[in-house]
């Protein structure tokens, strides 16, 4: 069987599935249940500085975007960092790490952007025996208005400064958690590396308002008739997270930097995709909050089975495998040509492909009187819309044209293996032909 164990920054865990810093990791009881269920690691819910306690709302904290059958597609929350006192958290972390030495236990921290505050808390966290810390520079609500969270994560200079403090006053791995609420994710990642960070984790939640109650005219969740923006997570943010992870993995300034992937991981396949983009592990929150801690068992079984089928003996075998194939649009092969093909045996004659193509695309699908649908190759640009709107999986596919044949739409001959793209004048990265 495939070996799912991971070694992330020297921190070993039996599998790459960690629980992210969030409500599921707020206390000892939850974390013990998580480890019993099979999670490879947890990031303890964010600790704050000692002093006046954080006060969370005593009302709705979550808003949800539902899909078919009320499937949770996206979850918005307005909850703040832990509202339990620092000493209680530290005592619980110490006990859990002692009892579960084979599991990764990372402590998330958010304190004021002052050196003294970090100098004070870091030795106390290190004394717990936890494996490392994660700097919460991503929380987009509540704490950001107090000059913490994403207020720090949006300023690369602050990230570098605080990371340097942490590397000075803490001897174990330092992970910087990045906010997606920024124009270019590469800048904060580069700042984290300059500050000495051992890794980055991303993405934190996206600033959002998920809905408005049209009776009360207040955003949801509503607290006594008022609402506010919160942090958005869940399956809906996965495409954004994958893209940002790929940017960091590809950028010369951060190439090779360890990454912990976060954002919509719900299945083993999601996890595998993040790993192929360069992540050494993944962090999960919404899936656990939706289905409970035992969802990890399906993730472990699925990833293990897929690795066996593909012949991957370890996570390292496919980590980063998709990064070389991720490029800028201008370097895509414009000589590659494909056409849509409809499997008539699988077609249920719903007409969705025809409607989508006829009204909003390239009028490349014909409908006969008996509702048989066929592709008009002379018009098809292989945009893939028909594939995506078809309710029958694999009914419509994109088939590359064979080399030497003529594209009926353009009259151009399909190039042999598309090899000449490296010297094609339309390719901005073309090299001169010898």
Residue 358's SS3 state is helix
Q: Read off the tokens for 56.
A: 């969370």
Alpha-carbon 172 to chain mean position: 25
Q: Is 139 a catalytic site residue?
A: yes
Q: Read off the tokens for 394.
A: 């694999």
Q: What are phi and psi of 219, to 5 degrees?
A: -60, 150
Q: Which residues pair with 135 in a beta bridge?
A: 109, 176
Q: Which of 149, 60, 64, 134 is nearest to 104 (CA)?
A: 134
Residue 37's SS3 state is helix
Q: Which of 44, 266, 229 is nearest to 150 (CA)?
A: 229
Rounded Cα distance between 431 and 434, Å, is 9
Q: Read off the tokens for 3.
A: 């070996």
**Beta carbons within 10 angstroms of residue 310's beta carbon:** 12
The catalytic position among 113, 139, 380, 395 is 139
Give the catalytic positions in this structure: 139
């Amino acid at each position: 069987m495939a070996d799912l164990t991971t070694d992330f920054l020297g921190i070993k865990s039996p599998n790459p599935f960690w629980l992210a810093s969030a409500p599921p990791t707020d206390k000892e009881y939850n974390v013990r249940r998580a480890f019993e269920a099979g999670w490879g690691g947890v990031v303890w819910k964010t600790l704050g500085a000692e002093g006046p306690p954080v006060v969370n709302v005593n009302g709705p904290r979550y808003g949800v975007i539902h899909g078919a059958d009320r499937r949770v597609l996206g979850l918005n929350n307005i909850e703040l960092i832990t509202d339990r006192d620092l000493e209680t958290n530290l005592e619980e972390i110490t006990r859990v790490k002692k009892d579960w030495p084979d599991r990764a236990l990372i402590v998330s921290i958010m304190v004021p952007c002052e050196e003294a505050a970090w100098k004070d808390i870091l030795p106390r966290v290190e004394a717990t025996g936890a494996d490392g810390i994660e700097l919460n520079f991503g929380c987009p609500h509540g704490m950001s208005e107090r000059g913490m969270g994403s207020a720090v994560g949006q300023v690369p200079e602050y990230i570098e400064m605080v990371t340097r403090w942490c590397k000075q006053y803490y001897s174990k791995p330092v992970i910087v958690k990045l906010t997606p609420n920024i124009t270019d994710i590469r800048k904060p990642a580069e700042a984290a590396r300059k500050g000495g960070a051992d890794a980055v984790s991303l993405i934190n939640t996206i600033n959002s308002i998920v809905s408005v109650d049209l009776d009360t005219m207040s955003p949801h969740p509503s607290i006594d008739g008022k609402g506010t923006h919160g942090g958005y997570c869940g399956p809906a943010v996965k495409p954004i997270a994958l893209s940002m992870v790929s940017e960091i993995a590809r950028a010369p300034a951060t190439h090779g930097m360890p990454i912990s992937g976060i954002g919509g991981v719900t299945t083993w396949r999601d996890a595998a995709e993040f790993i192929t983009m360069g992540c050494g592990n993944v962090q999960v929150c919404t899936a656990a909050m939706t289905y409970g801690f035992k969802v990890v068992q399906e993730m472990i079984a699925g990833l293990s089975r897929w690795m066996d089928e593909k012949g991957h003996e370890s996570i390292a075998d496919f980590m980063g495998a998709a990064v070389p194939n991720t490029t800028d649009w201008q370097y895509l092969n414009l000589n590659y040509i494909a056409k849509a093909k409809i499997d008539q045996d699988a077609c249920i004659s719903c007409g969705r492909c025809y409607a989508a193509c006829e009204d909003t695309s390239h009028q490349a699908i014909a409908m006969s009187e008996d509702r048989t649908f066929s592709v008009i190759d002379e018009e098809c640009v292989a945009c893939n819309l028909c594939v995506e709107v078809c309710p029958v999986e694999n009914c419509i596919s994109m088939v590359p044209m064979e080399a030497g044949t003529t594209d009926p739409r353009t009259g151009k001959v399909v190039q042999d293996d598309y090899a000449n793209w490296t010297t094609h004048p339309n390719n901005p990265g073309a090299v001169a032909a010898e």
